[in-house]
A and B are shown apart, each in its own frame.
Chain A
Amino acid sequence: MNEILRTVDLSMKFRTTMVLDHLNMAVPEHSVYAIVGPNGAGKTTTIKILMNARRATGGIAEVFGHDSRKLSPADFAEIGYVSENQQIPDWMTVKYLMNYLKPFYPTWDDARAEDLLRQFELPPDRKIKNLSHGMRMKVALASSLTYRPKLIVLDEPFTGLDALVRDELIEGVLECAEGSTILISSHDLSDVESFASHVGYLDGGRLQFSEEMTSLADRFREIEITPAISSQPRASWPGTWLNAEQSATVVRFVDSQFDQERTIAEVHRLFGNTERISVSPMPLRSIFVTLAKAGRKAK
């Protein structure tokens, strides 16, 4: 599968703070890649470097196989970028913005523009500065989907939006994204859990993992065991067991490399016979929280 976006050892340093630390990431074509992580993890910085809005202090960032610092107008004609903190020319009306942008894009589709304005219930003659935050995000999204971009980049698009608007935006993106690749960043996994095909977890400027959502869901399990004989608290745990807690009667942990046979064998090796072993699949949000907690403990 071709990679639409790629970073190799991408680094960014603000004075003494390492915001990105040799980030290696690849976004496959036609995927919906969610880049998630806590606030300050480096998600926005990564996206801004990929969009040539900022310059990295080291490493390589590529979009469509081109160095992101040399993205041409022709490249940008195939990118739809929407960001929470993007400054849209708010003196324009919605209609004027759409008309203004039209000549920039050879693939601009008037019918689609009208559909999107209708779908998002955007008032064409209202100035953007008189719209709510949610409406502005809809304007930004509508103006970025109308030309059927090959790549849609959404940087924290749902921050500050109510659930209804968020769902409308997701719906709008998914309807228009056929054949596109989507890169979306969010600090809230529930935003992207329902539609992302891939996920990259960024923390402290490092990519902790990057994989398909299905395999991620498969390999994380929350495990609770009740040993047959109460055991002494353990000083150390296997490296793949995260956030392990032990009381006199119950042991709980998250296995980040779950494999039915191997994990059960490991439990028996450490605790002998058990009265009960409970294995529960985890929603992405719980995986994220587990990883965030484990990351903080490691620091």
Chain B
Amino acid sequence: MRQALHIFKKDVRHLWFEIAVVILVVAAFTFTAARRAHWLSDPGTNRIGAWTLVMILLPLAWWALIARAIHDEALPGDSQFWITRPYSWKSLLAAKALLLLVFINLPMLLADIVILHAYELRPFGTEFPGLLWSQILLAIVYILPIAALSAVTSGFVQLVFAILAPSVVALGIAIASPNAVIGGFWGGSDWVKTYYVFLIIALAAPAILVWQYSARRTAPARFLAAVAAVLAVLGLALIPGSAAFKIQSWLSKRTVVASVPRVAFDSGSKWLTRAVVEKDGRVRIELPLNIAALPSGMAAKPEGFSVQLRAPDGTTWRADQVPLRYVSDMDQKFSLQFTLDDAFYGTVKNEPLTIHGSLYLTLFGGRQSARIPFGDRLVTVPRVGICSASGGSPERSDFLICTSAFRFPPVLVSYRFMQSANGAPDVSTSTQPRSISYSPFPAEAGINPVSQDFTFSSSPSSFSQALVDTIEPLAYIERNFTIDNLRLADYEVRPPRQLP
């Protein structure tokens, strides 16, 4: 430990400029973020230019410090001064870790505390788990990858190329085939992909660091870094949505009896079935489904589906893991949309098909409401954070803003403005809940420790208060359905022909 402190002191002395830059940018970040707490009542506090700049500069300043600290005792190569001196690799690694903890994690921890206080959130109360978890995410997202890359490169130029080369490859692939790099969007369960990447980083980066510091085997360490990068990208592209949903289902707060609820073809709305032949020849199928026997007080939200079409001769066609955006829902009735291969459609459209499918659903319940009186008074809203509303006079727009710590709340939130404080509310305006992440973790990867959501009304009505409604996800279930004897030709819709 004595040697680690000795090296640490040397690094502080040598890297004082980089450290000063980091601390200055963190201070600027803290100042601008804290002042934004009042941007609703005083828009002048929202220095958007400074805010944008600071959000760009902060990671750059961190990365410069990390790279300089590690490259001070570079690991690849055979001419470095330190490798023939009595350095203990554990002390050297500990010294670098200490430097990053003291000058990256600690300032950000303090910054988060100050910013949360400014928003009147409670860093040492309900937000404490998020405060700690955000430090772990800071290490995984911003520190460990650059530290590992710095450990397998001998200088700044090599490091920049180590970052740029795979980024350019990924960019090329993303342009050519968008889903190949980040895969589909899995709605609320998309965090599973993100945490898969975090897991890869959390395993690979420390392994690379320990391996390099203990043995200085640069070529195998670089290979490990490349393997980790490939695994991360492959995971993003190839891990099926059903697997993410399976993991999500383990996190259900409430078990739902297997027999309920049920998903079935909505025969009453059979007319909503479509086989739309697109101009490019492909065929978009739309299937109406409904959901029955939902437990009382619960609402279902579709997350995605899989479907398989089987012709009488056994020919099959599958659409796996169709994500959320291809499901439209109206009050527990869903329309599934998927695009069929035109050759398959041409072969089977006159055949009675059997369709097997699985629908991934999130069941919401436990509705809670909180009233927010106008007057810019901060009100604690359980599950959400702090909300305040302003308006209530014809001269001012009615405005509601809610602030959460470290992530958007893992509940569906909708907002309403009301004319009457007592009795039945006269709802003038409401907002659709935004899509949310079902992540069980108390923080999301990001620099800003607060997330804000707001709504406003420019209605001439005079409102007296706002209402924040929340429902929480209670269970994640998969339900299978079967549709027999569906002849797609019966529902075929062709685009109108253009007149010559």
Contacts and interface: CB of A to CB of B under 8 A. Distances in A.
Interface string A90-128: 010000000011011100000000000000000000000
B79 A86 contact: yes
Interface stretch (A35-43, A46-54, A237-245): A46-54
A83 B3 contact: no
A169 to B, nearest CB: 18
A271 interface: no
Contact of B6 (A76, A83, A87, A103): A103
A88 to B, nearest CB: 5
A101 B3 contact: no
Contact of B84 (A81, A89, A103): A81
A23 interface: no
B10 A51 contact: no
Contact of B85 (A55, A76, A87, A91): A76
A74 interface: yes
Contacts of A91: 14
A79 interface: yes
B86 interface: yes
B2 interface: yes
Given A103-B3, A104-B3, A73 B81 contact: no
A251 interface: no
A176 interface: no
Contacts of B480: none
Contacts of B87: 73, 76, 104
A84 to B, nearest CB: 10
A225 interface: no
Contact of B81 (A52, A54, A75, A86): A86
A29 B215 CA distance: 28
B66 to A, nearest CB: 18
A53 B84 contact: yes
B83 interface: yes
Interface string B74-116: 0000111101111110000000000000000000000000000
B260 to A, nearest CB: 65
A77 interface: yes
A73 B83 CA distance: 10
Contact of A105 (B78, B79, B81, B86): B86
A194 interface: no
A85 interface: yes
Contacts of B86: 73-77, 104-105
A53 B83 contact: yes
Contacts of A81: 84
A86 B88 CA distance: 19
A51 B84 contact: yes
B83 A101 contact: no
Contacts of A103: 2-3, 6
Contacts of B2: 103
B81 A89 contact: yes
Nearest to A51: B84
Interface string B51-93: 0000000000000000000001000001111011111100000
A86 B87 CA distance: 16
A87 B84 contact: no
A52 B83 contact: yes
A71 to B, nearest CB: 9
Contact of A100 (B10, B72, B88): B10
A54 B78 contact: yes
A85 B84 CA distance: 13
A52 B6 CA distance: 24
A104 B79 contact: no
A88 B81 contact: yes
Interface-central residue, B3, B78, B84, B88, by most chain A CB under 10 Å = B84
B76 to A, nearest CB: 11
A81 B88 CA distance: 17
A73 B84 contact: no
Interface string B139-156: 000000000000000000
A56 to B, nearest CB: 12
A101 B86 CA distance: 9
Contacts of A86: 79, 81, 84
Interface in B216-260: 217
Contacts of B88: 73
A154 B150 CA distance: 30
Contacts of B3: 103-104
Contacts of B83: 51-53
A100 B10 CA distance: 8
Contacts of A88: 81
A74 B85 CA distance: 10
B113 to A, nearest CB: 35
A123 to B, nearest CB: 20
A76 B78 contact: no
A59 B19 CA distance: 45
A85 B217 CA distance: 21
A100 B7 CA distance: 9
Contacts of B217: 55
A87 B84 CA distance: 11
B354 to A, nearest CB: 61
B84 A79 contact: yes
Given A100-B10, A105-B86, A48 B81 contact: no
B85 A101 contact: yes
B84 A76 contact: yes
Contacts of A104: 3, 85-87
B80 to A, nearest CB: 6
Contact of B78 (A48, A73, A75): A48
B85 A53 contact: no
B78 A87 contact: no
A53 B72 CA distance: 17
B372 to A, nearest CB: 57
A176 B80 CA distance: 24
Interface string B1-30: 011001000100010000000000000000
Nearest to A81: B84
Nearest to A82: B84
7 contacts: A48-B78, A73-B88, A76-B84, A87-B81, A103-B3, A104-B85, A104-B87
Closest 5 CB pairs between A and B?
A73-B86, A53-B78, A81-B84, A76-B86, A77-B86
Interface of B: 2-3, 6, 10, 14, 72, 78-81, 83-88, 217
Given A55-B217, A103-B2, 20 more contacts: A48-B78, A51-B84, A52-B83, A53-B78, A53-B79, A53-B83, A54-B78, A73-B88, A81-B84, A85-B79, A86-B79, A86-B81, A88-B81, A89-B14, A89-B72, A91-B14, A100-B6, A104-B85, A104-B86, A104-B87
Interface of A: 48, 51-55, 73-77, 79, 81, 83, 85-89, 91, 100-101, 103-105
